[in-house]
Amino acid sequence: MLLAGLVDSVISIYYKQDLYSFSKRLLLVLVIFYILGYIVKIILDINFPDEKKKKDASDEETEESVDSEEGEESDIENIETNEETEEDNTEE
């Protein structure tokens, strides 16, 4: 869409069009390409629904693994702290 707007702008400047026709044509080009892009997105979403689900599932798995790793690290820190506390208590 942006590339189409750029091409239209360059062509309009090259042919020295007046501002009103330039703006009208640029708006028309941008709206048409926006609608075409939206239609292509809908078609791709209909034809490839599994790809989005797989991506969402892999994102959730990644978040769960990060959470479990953080939990393991905090458990290790708690164990170390408890051991130090026990050593302090036995020394007294």
Element (H, E) at 15: none
> How confident is the model over 74-89, as pLDDT tens digits?
666 666 666 666 665 5
> How confident is the model over 20-39, as pLDDT tens digits?
888 888 899 989 999 999 99
